[in-house]
Amino acid sequence: MSNPIADPFVEGADVSPGSDLVRIEATAAGAVTVVMNRPQKKNALSPELVSALHEAFRTLAGAEGVRVVFLRGAGGAFTSGGDVEAMRRSLDMAEEEVREDLLAMGMMIKAWHDLPQLTVTLIDGPAFGGGAGLPAAADLAIATAHSRFSFSEVKLGIIPGVIAPFVVQAIGPRRARGLFATGRVFDAAEAHRIGLIDEVAADAVALKAAAGAIARDIMACAPGAIAEAKRLADHVHGREIDHRVLEDAARRNAAARLAEEGQAGIRAFLERGRPPWADEA
C-alpha cells in the first residue's frame, strides 16, 4: 500500500483481490476504501459479493499500516440489499443451504464489525435490507442527504435475520422492532436521529470531504490504541458498572500505558513532540 495518494476515493490506487466484485483502494498513509462493485445491480449482496467482502475484511484485519477502512458502493448506490437471482435460486434450495448462505452474510458483517482499524461506512443512495446492517456494524457511518434506508424483509415475508444483532445494538430494540416490523423506507435525517448513522452530508462532494477529514484526523491516533479502545467498548457494553468492570478497565488502561505505543505517546506529549505513528503518516 505504497501509492502516495491522500484521497481515499481516488482511482488508480487499486490493490484489489482477485474478484472484480470488490475494489480496494489504498493510500500511503494507510487509508483504505473497500468498494462494492456491482453498480449494474445497485451493489446487491449476492453470495459472491458477500464472499469477496469477507475475504477483503479478513485480509485487512491483518494488514500492517492500515489506519482506517471506508466501505462504499460504486455507481451512486450503497446497496439495494438482497440479490434477486440469489432469492430466486433459494426457492429450490434445502433449508440447510439457505441457512449457510445467510450465515455467510452474518459472518461477513461480523468481520467488518471486528476490524481493528477505525471503520467508516459511506452511504450514497439506497441502503436496503441486509445492506442497512453494514452501517450498524461500523464504528462510524455517514450518508448523503438523499440516501434512503429500509429493513424491507417483512415485505417479502421474511425477517432481517443476521443483521439484527448489529442493528439492535446500534439503535436499540424498540426502534428496531418498529422498523423491522413495518419495513418502511426512511431518510438520512431519521437514520441520524435514531443512531444508525453519525452524520448527514449534503451530497457526494460533502461525503467525500467528510471521509477525507476522518482520514486526516485518524493519523493522529495510535493504531494499537484504536484497536484496544474498540475492544474495550464492546467488552463493557451492557454490563453493570461494578468494581469488577472498573478493575478490568483499569487493568486494560494500565497495560496500554506501559506498552511501547503508550510509552512513546506519553513521552511525545510531555516533550511536546510528535508520536511515531503521526510521523509515519
pLDDT for the residue numbered 238:
87
- Please give the mean pLDDT across all residues of the chain: 90
4: pLDDT strictly greater than 50: no
In 94-143, alpha helices (H):
95-114, 133-137
Which tens digit of pLDDT belongs to each residue from 151-168?
A: 999 999 999 989 999 999
CATH number for the domain harbouring residue 233: 1.10.12
Q: What is the number of domains present in the chain? A: 2
- Give the residue from 172, 191, 218 where a domain finishes: 218
Rounded CA gap, 100 and 182, in Å? Answer: 26
Does residue 97 share a domain with residue 123?
yes
Range of the domain at 268: 223-280
Task: Name the pLDDT band for 82 (thresholds 50, 70, 90).
Answer: confident
Task: Name the pLDDT band for 281 (thresholds 50, 70, 90).
Answer: low
pLDDT for the residue numbered 28:
87
Does residue 166 share a domain with residue 107?
yes
Does residue 242 share a domain with residue 105?
no
Does residue 146 share a domain with residue 61?
yes
Classify residue 9: in a domain, yes or no: no
Classify residue 89: in a domain, yes or no: yes
pLDDT for the residue numbered 9:
46
Which tens digit of pLDDT belongs to each residue from 7-41?
A: 444 443 455 555 699 999 999 889 999 999 999 99
Does residue 46 share a domain with residue 121?
yes
Does residue 201 share a domain with residue 244?
no
pTM of structure:
0.90
5: pLDDT strictly greater than 50: no
Does residue 164 share a domain with residue 28?
yes
AA letter at 194: I
CATH number for the domain harbouring residue 66: 3.90.226.10
Instruction: Output the furthest CA–CA distance in the chain (Å, rounded).
Output: 67
Which tens digit of pLDDT belongs to each residue from 200-251?
A: 999 999 999 999 999 999 999 999 999 999 999 999 988 999 999 999 999 9
From the CA atom positions of the chain, what is the Rg in Å? Answer: 20
Task: Name the pLDDT band for 280 (thresholds 50, 70, 90).
Answer: low
Three cell numbers, residue 105: 452474510
65: pLDDT strictly greater than 60: yes
pLDDT for the residue numbered 83:
86
Classify residue 13: in a domain, yes or no: no
Residue from 28, 77, 72, 34 nearest 53 by CA: 34
